[in-house]
Structure 1
Amino acid sequence: MTSSSTFAVTTSELPSGRVIIVTGGGSGIGRAAALGFAEQGAQVLITGRRAEPLDDTAAAHPNITPLVADAAGADDARRTISTAVERWGRIDALINNAGAGAILPLAEVTADRIRQIFAVNVVGPSLLAAAALPHLAASRGVIVNVSSTFGHKPGAGLSHYAASKAALEHLTRCWALEFAPSGIRVNAVAAGPTETDALTGMMGLSEAQAAAVKAEERAQIPLGRRGVPEDVAAWIVQLADPSATWVTGQVLAVDGGLGLV
């Protein structure tokens, strides 16, 4: 892209009030971010594959609207963007928070497991961003990608999850350059170990295994604790705020210092 005319859209008739899309908005960091935006007065569309957690989050604030959608699906990516535009007429921020991963030693990998991780962590954000581009250009909006400490810190048994997050971080930098002429900012938050259900859900550990991992992580994190969703969500909200209009292409580590050791 060489000029802002690529995604030129008239902004004079856009309604007031920000519109935010948060993928994986039914729980954890996505839920906390959605609530943070809603409390600021934004209209928030949250997506996920399960209706119940989405409905629970939507019930917590009248500005949150749920939509069952698979972040890795091309049709659902287009449907997510069109739903926001048809309902509110604009998009100001896309928060690519939905994630997939596994503790997956190389000896145990299968092609399907690798594809599933990259579909959610790399393909999905790409499809959503592409579909949102003209609307983000109209609002001079922002994309915030949610990465991980392990996008830049190696971890045994995490190679494909880590590689997918490293890819997402580099997409962030490349998109920041590509979309800057259209006034679209792109940043990422690299979240450290956070008190969500990711270990027993996404990573597939038993409760006992998850407890052991949590204890090990607490011992490694310089600030002495695992994060809570609000620790990370606060920075997602801040990077999407209009006050951050001169910040783009950055990957902000919010991990209690874990990336330093």
Structure 2
Amino acid sequence: MTQKVALVTGAARGIGLATTALFIEQGWLVAMVDRDGDELKVAVKQFNQARPYEFDVSRPDDVDQMMEAVLADFGRVDAVVNNAGVADFRPLEQTSFADWRRIMETNLDGVFLVSQAATPALRKTKGALVNIASISGLRGSTLRVAYGTSKAAVIHLTKQQAAELGEHGIRANCVCPGPVRTKLAMAVHSPEIIAAYHDTIPLNRYGSERELAEVITFLCSEKASYVTGQVIAADGGFESTGVGLPALRS
């Protein structure tokens, strides 16, 4: 098989699903990985060039089985998008160790496990890793002691991967989304929260799942062949403004 293959985790919805769709538009085949089997079965029906794999990336045995199955079906992997993640926003004093570990297991351990399992295949294709972090990993914020810390760790893990795997022709980059107009975000963000985000983001709007997919697929493509070890905030300029008040920017 010579057609390029992307492995996308957290592919059943949101940014992962949008990335899957764009890869297919660009002529790739996609291994869609998600632990939500029911949602994954629904999502994969819209594609002819994708296959579903129901596994939990936080479990080492699941990851090993996943890689074995993907390579058996496709024979190669050219790009891995570590998108699977969970969020839990609560104050430090109300974050139990179980809450902390649940976030770390998926957001950080999952990226490590999938990247490690995929490295032999990526060495053969001189492929690309793209890890999805968050602007919460770039700047401090309330209620994100576990989530923000997990994403900051993913950013540094990406740099470690770039430094170590570059000699094998493997590129590793990180995308940090800002507020994205997903169904979940729109369901939980009040009009006041949406207005506050719009006031703080220089582009004055949320991003779309498609806009994030464009950045992700670019980093996996030959167009980014000399780009590695980079952390790209796709956030409408949110991170660049720090904690400055919108009224002071005009």
In structure 2, the residue matched to 1:136 is: 122
Pairs within 5 Å for 1:231-250: 231-250=211-230
Flag the 1:208–1:137 CA change in 2: closer, same or farther, 3 A. Answer: closer
Q: Distance in 2 between matches of 1:214 and 1:56?
A: 30
The answer as to whether partners of 1:57 and 1:64 remain within 8 angstroms in 2 is: no
The letter for the 2-side match of 1:53 is: E
Paired position in structure 1 for 2:94? 108
1:80 matched to 2:60? The reply is: no
Report what 1:58 is aligned to: 44
Show the counterpart of 2:245. none
| Distance apart, 1:243 and its partner CA | 2.3
Consecutive unaligned residues of structure 2, counting only runs of 5 or more, are 242-250
Q: Indicate the SS of the match to 1:156.
A: coil
Q: How many residues align?
A: 241
Q: TM-score, normalised by structure 1?
A: 0.89
Structure 2 CA distance for partners of 1:40 and 1:208, relative to 1, 3 Å? closer
Name 1:225's counterpart in structure 2: 205
Q: Which residue identity does 1:184 align to in structure 2?
A: I
Distance between the aligned counterparts of 2:190 and 2:99, measured in 1?
21
Root mean square deviation, CA, Å: 1.4
The corresponding residue for 2:105 is: 119
Hey, what's the Cα distance between the residues in 2 that align with 1:208 and 1:46? 26
Letter of the aligned partner of 2:110 in structure 1? Answer: G
List aligned pairs for 1:29-40, cutoff 5 A.
29-40=15-26
Structure 2 match to 1:12: none
Post-superposition Cα deviations, 1:68-112, rounded to whole Å, max 9, x if no partner, equal 111211111112211110001111011000111111201101010
- In the other structure, the counterpart of 1:259 is 239
Runs of at least 4 residues off by over 2 Å: 197-200, 207-216
Alpha-carbon distance change, 179 to 114 in structure 1, aligned in 2, over 3 angstroms: same
DSSP 3-state at the match of 2:76: coil
For residue 19 of structure 2, what is the amino acid of its counterpart?
A
C-alpha change, 1:38 and 1:105, in structure 2 (3 Å) is same
Distance 1:180 1:135, change over 3 A: same
CA distance in 1, matches of 2:43, 2:36: 12
Q: Distance in 2 between matches of 1:26 and 1:218?
A: 28
User: Structure 1 unaligned runs (5+)?
Assistant: 1-14, 201-206
> Which of these residues, 177, 180, 192, is aligned with residue 178 of structure 2?
192
Residue 143 (structure 2) pairs with residue 157 (structure 1): yes
Matched, 1:216 2:196: yes
Aligned partner of residue 194 in structure 1, secondary structure: coil
The Cα shift of 1:51 comes to: 2.0
1:172 paired to 2:158: yes
Q: What is the deviation of 1:53?
A: 2.3
The answer to whether the 8 A contact 1:199-1:210 is kept is: no
Deviates more, 1:137-146 or 1:240-249: 240-249
**1: distance between equivalents of 2:150 and 2:120?**
26
Deviation (angstroms), 1:214 = 2.7
Larger CA deviation: 229-238 vs 40-49:
40-49
